[in-house]
Every structure is written in structure tokens, then in C-alpha cells.
């Protein structure tokens, strides 16, 4: 695994066991934090992000079964491994039914513990890869339309909360149908891939968000930008594309600023943003193509 370092929360009221587990985690290659009972673990879960919780079952205040049920209800993606003694009050079936990912008995074998944690780490990595595949466009390696619908909602709300402007750029590859008809779809696909690369190169990673919206259309959510910066970024897309010297093609771009209205809900305002960006795109196409048109409806 390329990035297999996990954050593990160790929960046990026996300090000697907690110390042993704390010594082992760096050896296994993982970060950790500790809690002496379920109640303390609940507080830690609110404060930090964990991949795995390794918990004892018999503890004062809040036992392992209560903690397990709390984690499954509130943090369904966290893997829980239950550690219990020979006098166990809970069976393997009990804890698996309650949502535990694995189970190990005290006194535990160190190699067995490491093997079980490594198995959970592989599961976490696999889920992460599958999630990425589900939100990615396979041709361009940008995010897909499905992810756009949730990401735009997240970013406009964040921008509104933090006082940042958010812009949406809708990008259309000019004459792609003509290129597909004359040169074949592989030629068109090559252009789409190139556009994806250009967009990624011109934006800020994890600040701006690029998508293949469908067919020959792309869009980019530009966050924490001024009107001028948004315009310059989209102009850069066109400039970079023109440097490829594709005589038949260019990029037409519509750019619009998100506007939060008091009398409409968020989904209506997002629909309005997409509509205004689309209208600006059509204007770009109708006034000569290969240009950016900025929607005039904006906050000063």
C-alpha cells in the first residue's frame, strides 16, 4: 500500500495493556491516540478523525459494546476491532452482529494483532479506491457529473459561511463532433484527455474542483477567488489549449458567480448558477467561440 499509515484509537481501562498497544502501534507503522474508557473514546472521536478503534469490552462508565454501537451509529466508516479476555461476556457472534470488523482475545499474539490490523488497512484502502472510482471520469481522470452535484452544494455553502466568492466555469470543446466525424473518436478522446490535463494544470489542487460534466463539456468550481482571478484562470485554459495548435477546435467558456438569495433554497440558487453559466457559454459560442464570457449578474 502506498499510503497505509492509519490513525488508531486504543481504548482500554487496563493501563498496562494500553501501554503495550501504544508501544506496538509505531512499530506497526501507525499513528494512535488513547482512551481509558468508552466515554473518553466518544470525546476523542468528536475531536479527531480515526480509521480504526481497538477497544476492550469490559470497562467502567461505558463498555465496549456501547462504544461499538455508538461508533456504528455515528461513524459508520470507522473499523472497530474488539479485544476481550477469556472470561468474555460477549461472544464473537455478538460483536460481529453489533458491527465489529474483527475480534481478538487477550492475551493477544502480537503477530496475529498486526495481521488483523493489516487486513483492516487493506479493506480501508480498497474502499477508498472504490469511492474514488465511483466519482471519477475514466477518460480524463477528472471528477464526474455525479460528484459535481454533491461538491457544488458543499462548496457554495462553505463559501457563503466563510465569506468567499465561488465561481462556476462551464467549458465546451468547440467542434468536437466535427473532429470525431472527420478523424474518428480516438482523436476526439485525445483532445478530451488534453483538456482534462490543461484544467488540472491551471487550477489549485483541493481548492478548485474540475469535472467532466458529460460528452464534450467540462466544468470547474473556482473557490476563494475574485472576479478577475476567476476570469484570468479560465483565460489560461483557452491559452493553454490554443498552444496545442488544433485548427478545428477551441474552448468556449461561460463563467458565473454564485449568488445566495434570501427567498430561495440552496438547490434553487445552485440551479440558477448553472443556468447563468450555461447562458454565458452559449453567448461565448454565438459570438465567435474560443473565448470566455462572464455572466453579468454578480455581487459587487
Which domains are delineated in the chain? 7-134 (3.40.50.2300), 145-294 (3.30.70.270)
> Quick one: which of 173, 132, 166 has its CA closest to 3?
132
pLDDT one-digit tens code per residue, 219-229 = 999 999 999 99
| pLDDT given for residue 108 in this prediction | 87
Give, in order, the Cα–Cα distances in Å from 288 to each of 174, 192, 240, 282.
Answer: 10, 21, 18, 10
- Contact yes or no for 5/29 (Cβ under 8 A): yes
> Quick one: which of 114, 40, 47 has its CA closest to 75?
47
| pLDDT given for residue 91 in this prediction | 73
Indicate which residues carry an active-site annotation. 216
| pLDDT given for residue 300 in this prediction | 40
CB atoms within 10 A of CB 24: 18
- The mean pLDDT of 134-153, rounded to a whole number, is 92
| pLDDT given for residue 95 in this prediction | 83
Comparing 82 with 246, the larger pLDDT belongs to 82
Highest mean pLDDT among 79-88, 100-109, 197-206: 197-206
Comparing 95 with 49, the larger pLDDT belongs to 49
DSSP assignment of 141-170, as one string?
A: -SB-HHHHHHHHHHHHHHHHHHT--EEEEE
| pLDDT given for residue 1 in this prediction | 36
Residue 170 has pLDDT above 60, yes or no: yes
pLDDT one-digit tens code per residue, 13-22 = 999 999 999 9
What share of the chain has pLDDT > 70, as a percent? Answer: 96
Residue 2 has pLDDT above 50, yes or no: no
SS3 label, residue 48: coil
Residue 154 has pLDDT above 50, yes or no: yes
C-alpha to C-alpha distance for 110 and 180, rounded to whole angstroms:
60
Q: 181-220 in b/e burial notation, b at 16+ Cβ within 10 A? A: eeeeeeebeebbebbbebbeebbeeeebbbbbbeebbbbb
Give, in order, the Cα–Cα distances in Å from 95 to each of 103, 105, 188, 291.
Answer: 8, 13, 54, 61
Residue 97 has pLDDT above 50, yes or no: yes
Residue 102 has pLDDT above 70, yes or no: yes
> Cis before residue 5, ω within 30 degrees of 0?
no
Give, in order, the Cα–Cα distances in Å from 39 to each of 19, 27, 33.
Answer: 19, 27, 14
> Quick one: which of 213, 219, 232, 218 has its CA closest to 258?
219
Give residue 190's pLDDT band: very low, low, confident or very high (50, 70, 90).
very high
Cell 447563468 belongs to 276
Amino acid at each position: 500500500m502506498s499510503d497505509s499509515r492509519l490513525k488508531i484509537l486504543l481504548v482500554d481501562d487496563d493501563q498496562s495493556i494500553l501501554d503495550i498497544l501504544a508501544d506496538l502501534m509505531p512499530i506497526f507503522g501507525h499513528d494512535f491516540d488513547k482512551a481509558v474508557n468508552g466515554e473518553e473514546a466518544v470525546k476523542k472521536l468528536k475531536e479527531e478523525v480515526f480509521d480504526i478503534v481497538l477497544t476492550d469490552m469490559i470497562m467502567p462508565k461505558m463498555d465496549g459494546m456501547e462504544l461499538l454501537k455508538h461508533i456504528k451509529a455515528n461513524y459508520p466508516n470507522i473499523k472497530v476491532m474488539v479485544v476481550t479476555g477469556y472470561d468474555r461476556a460477549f461472544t464473537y457472534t455478538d460483536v460481529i452482529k453489533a458491527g465489529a470488523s474483527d475480534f481478538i482475545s487477550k492475551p493477544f499474539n502480537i503477530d496475529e494483532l498486526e495481521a488483523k490490523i493489516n487486513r483492516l488497512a487493506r479493506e480501508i484502502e480498497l474502499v477508498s479506491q472504490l469511492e474514488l472510482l465511483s466519482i471519477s471520469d475514466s477518460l480524463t481522470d477528472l471528477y464526474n457529473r455525479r460528484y459535481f452535484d454533491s461538491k457544488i452544494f458543499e462548496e457554495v455553502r462553505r463559501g457563503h459561511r466563510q465569506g468567499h466568492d465561488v465561481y462556476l466555469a462551464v467549458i465546451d470543446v468547440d467542434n468536437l463532433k466535427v473532429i470525431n466525424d472527420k478523424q474518428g473518436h480516438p482523436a476526439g478522446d485525445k483532445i478530451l484527455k488534453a483538456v482534462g490535463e490543461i484544467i488540472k494544470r491551471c487550477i489549485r489542487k483541493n481548492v478548485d474542483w474540475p469535472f467532466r460534466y458529460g460528452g464534450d463539456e467540462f466544468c470547474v468550481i473556482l473557490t476563494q477567488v475574485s472576479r478577475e482571478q476567476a476570469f484570468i484562470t479560465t483565460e489560461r485554459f483557452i491559452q493553454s489549449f490554443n498552444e496545442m495548435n488544433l485548427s478545428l477546435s477551441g474552448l468556449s467558456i461561460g463563467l458565473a458567480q454564485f449568488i445566495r438569495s434570501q427567498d430561495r433554497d440552496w438547490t434553487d440558487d445552485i440551479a440558477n448558477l448553472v443556468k447563468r453559466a450555461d447562458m454565458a457559454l452559449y453567448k461565448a459560442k454565438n459570438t465567435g467561440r474560443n473565448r470566455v464570457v462572464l455572466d453579468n449578474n454578480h455581487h459587487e
